[in-house]
Structure 1
């Protein structure tokens, strides 16, 4: 099954791509061997991040439109925040990008964070690898927009686009350290609003130290709803991706993922229901000590 699925993915079959993502998300038997068989993908990944309400989805919609007119195949991952209680999500990006769901050159997948920190999905690296095997020319990942905690996108994306609006002066100042670290391109969206020019100018001044470190961060003004400034943004992304390398931050992200996978494999022998049952009994006693319980359970499987 998995071999046939991979061949269909390589042929660009959207149904096969969707099925593979679902099987990996649900950890179906054989998914690890399937992931190990994936070819090393080279499709550039553009991350779209920034505070809520900045227009990330509208900007993504405009980028899809531009690239498809050039005959490119585009894959989009839209990550929405999950409820901390039932792990469900609104997945509202489906509404904003509804024009593309039947387009033969566009694949869109909405994902919930499922409680994952960093504004992404717990299987984002695996899902991106599947898309890179699917013959796409561009991959866009739009994050949930939770602010400075979205550092993870910088490790995954080849180019990280940070979207802000002219009114976000104080907010940008608050998030300055995190944004300066992850931004490869700044987009001042909704730049038809008052003070957009002054805001963009101040943003360039704030980034002066970054220029001294030989990292040129472009500031692009757009009105995504009117498709204004999109060509300049596409050019800035393309120029940045001419110098793609395996950066230190990407190595750190991969290190974290390797650590998580090893920890998950080591935890397989432990049954959470069994832990729960034993805690029900032990936690009510006066002698209960959480750390002693963990020590005993991890060594014997019983506390």
Structure 2
């Protein structure tokens, strides 16, 4: 940090009241610090977490090329026209060279966001699997505390077992596109079962009806991981023309009411909190043992030399006695 930057630097705790007041500049700065993992921001993020928990979190996921960004742009317009203060976290693949986000999603949404006073932020995965970045939910906390709701999380195009969004969002929208090849391949990707709402994009294409039929067939076989009390609807939409977008928005609100009345919202909150606790613990573990030669590097060499096996090395790092690790 250069001298002029240091002179203008505001401590994170000083940003907290500004975030709560809805300052877009303060929100952006706090998200940047969360994403960078600044130790100085930990206390401020803890304070903002206490003010969060009011927003409805919508996850938009699906295979690459399904049209997620276009759908999100259309939803921004729909929600803001109804008076909602919308926040969007678009998780982009990390650049293999810089580690930063490839900002295609943000560029495509920017016009819609600026015109409709939404807050859109792209975040890099930084190698984190699961379709989200490590600090995604900290960014959601910041927007939540600032009064944004709904908050939309658009994931990276996900693959098999990369379904972390189900533990982050209240309502998961899985987007499928016609004409992307074998319809069954998307089912094999392991993401359709997590949908609270199925959306088929580009409904004006003739292949859309076949995709809807394939989804209905899968649903008839019980392809849903959630509670059976909710029957996930299948909605073909056109983000370009806006066809059936109001129906999609209505189904999102209907699902929110279902979560509240069925008691499932509390169950999802517990799962989210559990995932976050374990995620932070894993991150702190990696930080601790990557810090110096006395940690993982020492055990690494012993494993390379086959003096220790990986399990023995892990037990040694944890400071446990062999045989007492269960």
TM-score (ref. length: structure 1): 0.86
Deviation at 1:298, TM superposition (A): 5.8
CA RMSD of aligned residues (A): 3.1
Deviation at 1:69, TM superposition (A): 1.5
Residue 98 of structure 1: aligned partner = 110
SS of structure 2 residue aligned to 1:186: strand
Residue 6 of structure 2: aligned partner = none
1:84 and 1:288 map into 2 onto residues whose CA distance is: 35
1:256 has 2:275 as partner: yes
Unmatched tracts of structure 2, length 5 or more: 1-10, 320-326
Deviation at 1:197, TM superposition (A): 2.3
Confirm or deny: 8 A CA contact 1:120 1:144 kept in the other structure: yes
Q: Following superposition of structure 1 onto structure 2, how do residues 30-69 of structure 1 map, counting pairs within 5 Å? A: 30-38=40-48, 39-69=51-81
2:88 and 2:63 map into 1 onto residues whose CA distance is: 19
Query: 12, 16, 20: which is aligned to 2:26?
Result: 16
Moved more, 195-204 or 241-250: 241-250
The change in CA–CA distance for 1:127 and 1:47 in structure 2 (over 3 A counts) is same
Moved more, 263-272 or 251-260: 263-272
SS of structure 2 residue aligned to 1:166: coil
Deviation at 1:233, TM superposition (A): 0.8
1:157 and 1:151 map into 2 onto residues whose CA distance is: 11
Query: 228, 236, 240: which is aligned to 2:255?
Result: 240
The change in CA–CA distance for 1:9 and 1:174 in structure 2 (over 3 A counts) is closer
SS of structure 1 residue aligned to 2:161: helix
Confirm or deny: 8 A CA contact 1:84 1:115 kept in the other structure: no
The change in CA–CA distance for 1:30 and 1:167 in structure 2 (over 3 A counts) is same
Higher relative contact order (CA 8 A, sep 6+): 1
Moved more, 22-31 or 63-72: 22-31
Deviation at 1:90, TM superposition (A): 1.4
Confirm or deny: 8 A CA contact 1:49 1:145 kept in the other structure: yes
* CA-to-aligned-CA distance 1:88-142 (integer Å, 9 cap, x gap): 3312112211313534621110011111110001011211111100111321110
Deviation at 1:10, TM superposition (A): 1.2
Moved more, 51-60 or 246-255: 246-255
Moved more, 50-59 or 175-184: 175-184
Q: Following superposition of structure 1 onto structure 2, how do residues 48-127 of structure 1 map, counting pairs within 5 Å? A: 48-83=60-95, 86-103=98-115, 105-127=117-139
Residue 191 of structure 2: aligned partner = 179
Deviation at 1:75, TM superposition (A): 0.7
2:234 and 2:117 map into 1 onto residues whose CA distance is: 29
Deviation at 1:286, TM superposition (A): 5.8
Residue 196 of structure 1: aligned partner = 208
1:274 has 2:293 as partner: yes
The change in CA–CA distance for 1:235 and 1:294 in structure 2 (over 3 A counts) is closer
1:267 and 1:281 map into 2 onto residues whose CA distance is: 13
The change in CA–CA distance for 1:283 and 1:86 in structure 2 (over 3 A counts) is farther
Moved more, 242-251 or 58-67: 242-251
The change in CA–CA distance for 1:273 and 1:131 in structure 2 (over 3 A counts) is same
Confirm or deny: 8 A CA contact 2:289 2:296 kept in the other structure: no
2:85 and 2:250 map into 1 onto residues whose CA distance is: 17
Give runs of ≥4 in structure 1 deviating > 6 Å. Answer: none
